[in-house]
Structure 1
Amino acid sequence: MGIQFLRGNPQAPKGHAIFIARSRSNSRVVYSTYCLVPPIPMSIAKYLPPLFAAQISSEELQGAESISGMPIPPMLEEGMSLEQLEALADRRGDDLCDIGSTSSEEVERMQMAATSCQEYAQLYANTIPQASQLAQEPTKNTIAEATPIENLDAEELLLQTMSERQKLAEVGKLVGMARYALEGQDKTLLQDTQRRIERLARLLPDKYRGSEIAKAATAPNERGAKLAELYLSRAYKLIDEEYAEIPRIENAIRELKEG
């Protein structure tokens, strides 16, 4: 079953639609997601977290067209009735599309959302052929004004969503991995771990001294391990606002570096 428009015109899709799918085992259960065709061409493969991307084929993620549909959330979810979705689409001016039936399996609901969004995006692209031409012939201003987000991959986008505490926890794990690589003389693992620590360090405020943690974590001596531990301890004291403990740690760091 393809896309059936319950609201809107299949000959002139608006570029934003609410998708519904019914449960095969219980027709009263309705799953839904929101499909958005961004006005600026993009590939959703760069922005999906690895967990989601691993469940969808590269063909579905990349697509052959420059305009891609993006399901938000990336999986059909249960929670709203058909009446609520109809009222929502009417109030917002969205297309409302029935995309068929599905099971309760998360992978199937994720794949169905992705596939249907690409089909909807193709319908939308067919109504504005000039968009493909514009995407293939960017102006000089477009190239000059490209923003850093274009260079983000899925991992970095995921890191951007982490809290400072989560980033510090990840840094702590990577420090342990770096010390393991040093002990085992695994240069490949060490280089990859160093790159990941430095990447996280750039996302942390300067007060946590992320660059110092990265440097100490990969130092080929026991002093480096102790320094990394002290810098991490200092960072956690900051985030927990235990400021009275910081001078003691600062002194320990100073003595270790001077020793």
Structure 2
Amino acid sequence: MDLTFDRGDQQNPRGHALLYFRVDTEPDLVYATYVVTLPVKSDLTKYVPPFLASHLGSLPLSDLSAFAMPPVPEAVGSYSELERLSQLRGDDLVYGGNMFSFDLPRMMETATEAVQAYSSLCSDALTMTGTPVEGAAAALADELGQIQESAPPSAEGPAPEPAEEPDDSYNVNEVLFSFMSESDKLAELSRLLGRLRFAVDGSDQATADEVGQEITVLARHLPEDFRIGDLLHVARDNSQKSSELAKLYIDRCFRLSAGDAGAAKELENQILLLRAQD
């Protein structure tokens, strides 16, 4: 499959891209998904129970190096919105061609082919530049050179220290969370809380801070009345009271998501009573 890079360099892809398709009969829409190539290959067979593996089709569980989320491209408002997002986030913007929006299996197949093509370009770029570390260094040097060429001449005096590079992993999470359903977000929240509690119990502050940041990003994609901030606050404390509060908060989130306002109100009352205890 031939890919067209509207933004980014086909010879040196970034490893994460907004991939979009067009439909001839729907000229006002574009269908998009988000592609991520992993710097470390994953063996998912270690995490997927055997009885579930057969339901995952041809997904390369033992050698997963790239994926698209969602697996079937979703309709988005306009091309200009994708262009804006790619510029803000520093993603490649890649056109995968035309497709038929009514044929979901074919849409998934086309997206998979595009992911494989993009992953191959990433692999080829690393091969051309030597080792992955050398490739990353070359890409960084190229970006720095472009910045220096475009920067205006500075007045005499010491150059300011470069700003710390932002962590792109949270930007990737922003996109992934935006594609998730609310139930999937709550499932991810439960998983992250488990990691956070494990880190807190083990006095692993670095991991606790990292997971806390992920939960903060996820909270931006959930309703405010879920009170994820309050949940995160009590989850950082390993006392028995905080543990019980965390369970009540997460249960309340699931009740609100299910539309069970009565049960959510009862849980809110339990939270208030428990908080009032010394």
Relative distance call for 1:46 and 1:105 in structure 2 (3 A) is closer
For normalisation by structure 1, the TM-score amounts to 0.51
Amino acid at match of 1:224: S
Relative distance call for 1:72 and 1:229 in structure 2 (3 A) is farther
Alignment of 1:35 onto 2:20: no
The residue number in structure 2 matching 1:245 is 263
1:132-171 to 2 correspondence within 5 Å? 137=150, 153-171=171-189
Relative distance call for 1:67 and 1:230 in structure 2 (3 A) is closer
How far apart, in 2, do the equivalents of 1:222 and 1:172 lie? 18
Q: What is the CA deviation profile of residues 194-250 of structure 1, one whole-angstrom value per residue up to 9, with x for unaligned ones?
A: 111122112222011111111111123121111111111111111111112122101
For normalisation by structure 2, the TM-score amounts to 0.48
Q: Which runs of 5+ in 2 are unaligned?
A: 19-33, 40-64, 67-89, 98-104, 125-145, 153-167
1:23-172 to 2 correspondence within 5 Å? 35-38=4-7, 44-47=14-17, 51-54=36-39, 55=65, 70-72=94-96, 79=106, 109-112=117-120, 137=150, 153-172=171-190
Percent of matched pairs sharing the same residue: 24
Q: Which runs of 5+ in 1 are unaligned?
A: 1-17, 20-33, 57-65, 81-103, 117-132, 140-149
Secondary structure of the corresponding residue to residue 241 of structure 1: coil
Alignment counterpart, residue 202 of structure 2, candidates 163, 184, 192:
184
Runs of 4+ in 1 over 3 A off after TM superposition: 43-51, 53-56, 66-69, 104-116, 136-139
Amino acid at match of 1:198: T
The residue number in structure 1 matching 2:212 is 194
Q: CA RMSD in A?
A: 4.6
Q: How far did 1:174 drift?
A: 1.3
| Conserved 8 A contact 1:44-1:68 | yes
- Of structures 1 and 2, the larger Rg is shown by 1
How far apart, in 2, do the equivalents of 1:193 and 1:35 lie? 36
| Conserved 8 A contact 1:47-1:157 | no
Greater relative CO, 1 or 2 (CA 8 Å, sep 6+): 1
